[in-house]
Chains A and B, each alone.
Chain A
Amino acid sequence: MRVSTGQLQQLMMDGFQRGSVNFSNISQQMATGKKILKPSDDALGTVQLMALKKEQANIEQYNSNISNARRQLGSAETYISSMSDTLLKLRDLTLEAGNGAYGLSERQALAAEMQSLKDALMDTANAKGSNGKYLFSGSEVETAPISGPVAGAYSYDGDNLPRQISVSSGVQVTSNFDVQDVFFNGGDFFQDLDDFINTLNTQTGSVGNDVTNMLTSLDTSITGNLKLLTEVGGRINSLDKVELTNNDIELYGQTLQLELESLDYGQASMQLTQAELALQATQQVYIKVNQLNLFDQL
């Protein structure tokens, strides 16, 4: 084939251009550390990466939800176990009040102690979290769960709606509690307690029946509270497990992400050397070709 002089020059120029495009691509990859410079470099990889990044963002959020839930459940747990202690103490004192040898003055002393325990129990049930919201009134976080006495009776002013927090894909944990079942399970615990204290303060005869009734009321509350205690422990436990799983998934995702988007520097520097060599070779050929000119010999 006949080759024109212009064609030879063009051929060389194309070679230079191809060489420098290749060179600049590899150096850009090395500068950014990324294999995929634009989506069309690897369309499938780009879509996979986007999905992975979304998953990573989700997991980050889930883990932040877990620490929020753990904080809320943790403070609730402290209050619930304190309620449990108080209730057991009240039960001991109630049993002690049934002692046939006790007279009014001993019962009055017991009553005084029970009164202060009752106040503490009320305070605990109406406790607020660090954000100033009530802990035990369901979703009515602005309302104290227990109010009263009005004409001797107490009332539960919260609700039973759970507040669920997503902690993993498809897994939710309830982060709030209500104490309706603890103190108002078919009766009015605080009214019972007030009545009993009043009896101890005033009644001179036997209090055997009152003690039995108070014990029944106490046991209902203790059972209700124990249920809360079990629940809070269970929820905190499951948070720990879910967090471990999340971390595993996150790590796996990060590995995949690195594989998809990160540049293999060893391979890239080899390619860079090759591109450099090709460019140099083209330059040398250009100089050789330019020396091959019949006019030089005339």
Chain B
Amino acid sequence: MSMLSNGLSGLTASQIALNVVSNNIANSNVAGYTRQQTVNSALISNSNNSLSSGSGVEVSAINRITDDYLNNNLWRSNSSYGFNQAYSDYLGVTEQLLANENLSLAAGMDDLFNAFNSASAEPSSIAPRQLIISSAEALTQKFNSLAANLDIQRVQIEEQADGMLEMANSLFSEVATLNQEIVDGTAQGANVSALLDQRDETVSTLSKLMDVEVARMENGSYTLSMTGGQPLVLGSSAASLSRTGSNYQVNLAGQAFSFSGDIGGELGGILSYETNILDSTEASLNQLAQDLADDINNQLALGQDINAVPGAGNPMFDYNPLDPAGSLSISAGFAPEDLALGATGAGPGDNSNLSQIIALKDGHYDTYNSLVGTLAIQSGQAGAEAQASQSIAADALAQRDSVSAVNLDEEAMSLIQYQQSYQANAKVVSASQQLFNTLLSMF
């Protein structure tokens, strides 16, 4: 009697569907969880009887509701967001650093040149000369401390880059392991949905760190590679990234490929910041320190000091040419009397060499000004790009979630639907029993 078995097939199908619904509800807060749906199909009748209605229902599959295109889109936008965010964060720190009132070279130069200017009224007195030396010293300290801050940033970037490379390596092997488990599980006919979710989440995390190209293989595994084509994950084998200075290498199965730091994602962001902004800012700062020191030293060399001794050979500023901003200082033993403010041959009350020094201000000031201005513009741009790519990434996530994530109202409806279906099928079974009892009671 097919009524009983039909009822049974309906009960089983409803149970499976309720299991799927409950799993969806249970995982509704899991990031990257992909909702599942049962696919029911009617079983055809086994007998060659035109009056046989069918053999009930079966769950032919549990579908994982996903869209490869939306996932790819999410990963790409993650990379771009990671890149812009990291780039803009560091740039923001640097612009703040250079504009900081306590570190500002602009204020430092104002102080130094004002001190020179103050001495022009009484070049033969020690007090204004002392003021020049102490302002110059304060300026050198500002240079030193800016240089030190940029050095700290470089160390931070390299440490962070190493940490990110390590993290990327562990994500590669995670994807490789999941690849293996998915291929095996699929072959055994298991539901690998959770593994697929986990792998997509891993790729998503990875895509924040760097650009990755994902190719989907026939057997269900992912092949990951860098945008330059260097392989990262092939089936169950994972590559490892390493760095020596600014030489980057990817090693896979004993083969090494080199790559540049321009690899997108957060990793690419901080490395691009290092080459595009940090290096040039440091270079400008060094150039400024060197030019300022040289210009003032050279002009002092043309004059004579308070005791009519020529200034040549007694520079006020001293620095190491390999690291001008970091090492700029007042020459050891340089005394207020040594400042060659007067023209050679003039009396101690002469200030004509001093006037030449005062005239040096504007050029250096403009250099620093334009450095801060350029950084501000770049930082503004990077900030806007970071914001734009953030909303693009949020949008990509929303699009993926609108297809794949759980909606509790929807699940509530399914719950009611399959609950009712279960009750109806149970009724069918009980009706079939009543029919049978009716038949038996006849005897």
Residues of A within 8 A of B (CB): 1-7, 10-11, 14, 38-41, 43-44, 46-47, 50-51, 53-54, 57-58, 60-62, 64-65, 68-69, 72, 131, 133, 137-143, 158-159, 161, 163-166, 172, 175-176, 293-295, 298
The distance from the CB of A63 to the nearest CB of chain B, in whole angstroms, is 11
CA distance A43 to B381 in the complex (A): 10
Q: Which of B71-79, B115-123, B187-195, B324-332 contacts A (4 or more CB under 8 A)?
A: B115-123
A53–B106 touching, CB < 8 Å: yes
The distance from the CB of B307 to the nearest CB of chain A, in whole angstroms, is 10
B349–A138 touching, CB < 8 Å: yes
CA distance A176 to B95 in the complex (A): 46
A139–B349 touching, CB < 8 Å: yes
User: Can you list 6 A-B pairs, Cβ within 8 angstroms, ordered by A?
Assistant: A3-B407, A46-B376, A47-B373, A133-B122, A139-B342, A175-B121
The distance from the CB of B345 to the nearest CB of chain A, in whole angstroms, is 9
Chain B residue nearest to A143 (CB atoms) is: B347
The distance from the CB of B340 to the nearest CB of chain A, in whole angstroms, is 14
- Restricting to B349-404, which residues have a CB under 8 Å from any CB of A? 349-352, 355, 358, 365, 369-370, 372-373, 375-377, 379-380, 383, 394, 397-398, 401-404
Chain A residue nearest to B369 (CB atoms) is: A50
Chain A residue nearest to B368 (CB atoms) is: A50
Encode contact with A along B108-150: 1 for CB under 8 Å, 0 otherwise.
0010011001101111110000000000000000000000000
CA distance A68 to B120 in the complex (A): 10
Task: Kindly list chain B residues whose C-beta atoms are within 8 Å of the C-beta of A64.
Answer: 118
Whether A163 touches B409, Cβ cut-off 8 Å, given contacts A1-B402, A39-B379, A50-B106, is no
CA distance A298 to B419 in the complex (A): 12
CA distance A203 to B107 in the complex (A): 72
| B256 contacts partner chain A, Cβ-Cβ < 8 Å | no
Encode contact with A along B88-102: 1 for CB under 8 Å, 0 otherwise.
000010011011000
Chain A residue nearest to B412 (CB atoms) is: A294
CA distance A65 to B118 in the complex (A): 6
| B421 contacts partner chain A, Cβ-Cβ < 8 Å | no
Task: Kindly list chain A residues whose C-beta atoms are within 8 Å of the C-beta of B375.
Answer: 39-40
The distance from the CB of B373 to the nearest CB of chain A, in whole angstroms, is 4
B380–A43 touching, CB < 8 Å: yes
Interface residue from B95, B122, B398, B409 paired with A7 (Cβ < 8 Å): B398
Task: Kindly list chain B residues whose C-beta atoms are within 8 Å of the C-beta of A2.
Answer: 402-403, 407
The distance from the CB of B353 to the nearest CB of chain A, in whole angstroms, is 11
A294–B369 touching, CB < 8 Å: no
5 smallest A-B Cβ distances: which pairs?
A140-B347, A4-B405, A141-B349, A39-B376, A139-B347
A54–B110 touching, CB < 8 Å: yes
A40–B349 touching, CB < 8 Å: no
Whether A14 touches B347, Cβ cut-off 8 Å, given contacts A4-B402, A4-B407, A5-B408, is no
How many residues of chain B are within 8 Å of chain A by beta carbon? 59
A6–B28 touching, CB < 8 Å: yes
The distance from the CB of B91 to the nearest CB of chain A, in whole angstroms, is 8
CA distance A11 to B346 in the complex (A): 77
Task: Kindly list chain B residues whose C-beta atoms are within 8 Å of the C-beta of A68.
Answer: 118, 121-122
Task: Kindly list chain B residues whose C-beta atoms are within 8 Å of the C-beta of A163.
Answer: 120-121, 123, 349-351
| B215 contacts partner chain A, Cβ-Cβ < 8 Å | no
B124–A4 touching, CB < 8 Å: no
Task: Kindly list chain A residues whose C-beta atoms are within 8 Å of the C-beta of B379.
Answer: 38-40
Interface residue from A65, A72, A142 paired with B124 (Cβ < 8 Å): A142
Whether A142 touches B347, Cβ cut-off 8 Å, given contacts A47-B370, A133-B122, A166-B120, is yes
| B29 contacts partner chain A, Cβ-Cβ < 8 Å | yes
| B348 contacts partner chain A, Cβ-Cβ < 8 Å | yes
Interface residue from A5, A47, A54, A140 paired with B349 (Cβ < 8 Å): A140
Chain B residue nearest to A1 (CB atoms) is: B402
The distance from the CB of A13 to the nearest CB of chain B, in whole angstroms, is 11
B117–A40 touching, CB < 8 Å: no
Task: Kindly list chain A residues whose C-beta atoms are within 8 Å of the C-beta of B29.
Answer: 6
Chain A residue nearest to B365 (CB atoms) is: A54
B347–A137 touching, CB < 8 Å: yes
Task: Kindly list chain B residues whose C-beta atoms are within 8 Å of the C-beta of A298.
Answer: 412, 415-416
A139–B373 touching, CB < 8 Å: no
Which of B348, B403, B413 is packed against the most chain A CB atoms within 10 Å?
B348
CA distance A193 to B191 in the complex (A): 124
Task: Kindly list chain A residues whose C-beta atoms are within 8 Å of the C-beta of B376.
Answer: 38-40, 43, 46-47
Which of A6, A40, A58, A172 is packed against the most chain B CB atoms within 10 Å?
A40
| B406 contacts partner chain A, Cβ-Cβ < 8 Å | yes
Chain B residue nearest to A46 (CB atoms) is: B376
The distance from the CB of B161 to the nearest CB of chain A, in whole angstroms, is 25
Task: Kindly list chain B residues whose C-beta atoms are within 8 Å of the C-beta of A133.
Answer: 122, 124-125, 349
Chain A residue nearest to B127 (CB atoms) is: A131
Task: Kindly list chain A residues whose C-beta atoms are within 8 Å of the C-beta of B413.
Answer: 294
Sample of 10 more A-B contacts, CB < 8 Å, known A5-B406, A10-B397? A10-B401, A39-B99, A50-B106, A57-B110, A65-B120, A133-B124, A161-B352, A294-B413, A295-B408, A298-B415
The distance from the CB of B372 to the nearest CB of chain A, in whole angstroms, is 6
Whether A161 touches B347, Cβ cut-off 8 Å, given contacts A5-B407, A142-B124, is yes
The distance from the CB of B337 to the nearest CB of chain A, in whole angstroms, is 13
CA distance A280 to B92 in the complex (A): 30
CA distance A133 to B407 in the complex (A): 91
B121–A294 touching, CB < 8 Å: no
Which of B347, B372, B401, B413 is packed against the most chain A CB atoms within 10 Å?
B347
